[in-house]
Structure 1
Amino acid sequence: MNDDHERKRTRWKVQWGVPARAAGGTARAAALSGDERREIARKAARARWARHLPRATHEGVIQFGDIEIEVAVLDDGQRLVTQSGFMVGLGRIRPPKGRQYYRAGANLPAFLTVQNLRPYIDENLVGAASQIEFRTKQGVKAFGYAANFLSEVCELFTRAHHAGVLKDTQRNIANRAQTIAEQLQRSGSTHLIDEATGFQEHHEKNA
């Protein structure tokens, strides 16, 4: 019934001289299903909401040997590691299966919540674990972590490795974490992010 009503309105607009562009838009809207209209409305709402997020002004990739981790500097000065860069860099994309999880209310990635890592999760790591929502330079909504979260996670795996509690499936993460930690100790996360994104050069020019 509603679709029929919209079609009649479109014919009326064309008949009485409503601009063709507006009439065509109404016709296209009338041809959409209810689900399609709702999806368009959801996307519009997300776009409006995302405009209020901090935006990346500089983006880049840090090379840790053969490991690449995407990073960014936001317009409010925050340096961060992107969520996807963090997960891929440490060799984790999917959460582990068939494990018991550490329930402590912390917003930790799933691969850190397994029971054998529980003794090594401290306040510093939990404090750095909050996700940061932002827009990429292209305007796409994304998530990231504070720069120091990466070093905290590397420290966790170093301690767990020395304690001999890691499972076989976690050793690859520990090896990657060691490679990352060695470079972070030499240069520091802020310096590496500024260098990888070109923000350091931008900052020096402005200074």
Structure 2
Amino acid sequence: MHLKTLFALIILMVGTPAFAEPPPTEFVMQSLEPTGGKMLRPKSWFYSEGHRGSMYMWTLSREDITGNRPYTTGVRVQTFVGVKKGTGKTAKEFILDFVAAKKKSAQVIHTCAEQDQGLFNRVCLETVEGPHHILYSLFWGSDGMDIAVVSIAGTTKELWETFAPTFQKMGDFELIDMDRFPK
């Protein structure tokens, strides 16, 4: 039996391989409460919030994580307010320490230099960690604003190429609706 025939037979028996899944093409705007931020979410994906004290967390995932179930593919945004009080570090030190620790514990594929984005400064780190491929986008408040943000976009190594364009689209999010706050 030829290899192509064997492969075709296996696909017929077990279905299409996971990496052949098409990427999401339809997106909706997801509000990030209570900050009023906004992020594009694939229409078929799930949304969850998990806030505790001065930490805000939003998860947008392909899998339903109701009841603390795990997910394989998604984006999680964690915002830490009052970093100095909670850790003794500035928000920038907190983020740069996180990056340094990841560089020691994971296979680093790509990094990006610090970028000024107005209210926040950003760095990024793309890694492979066990079976997962992850893109970390990390932010700290400009002008001494004591806020750190960790955005984690990830999936399995096999599904990365399928979902990387989705993660790129979701990476352009607004954390805070500034119109909600008095000027």
Q: Same fold (TM over 0.5)?
A: no
Q: Give the TM-score taking structure 2 as reference length.
A: 0.28
> Which structure shows the higher strand fraction?
2
Query: Which of 1 and 2 has greater Rg?
Result: 1
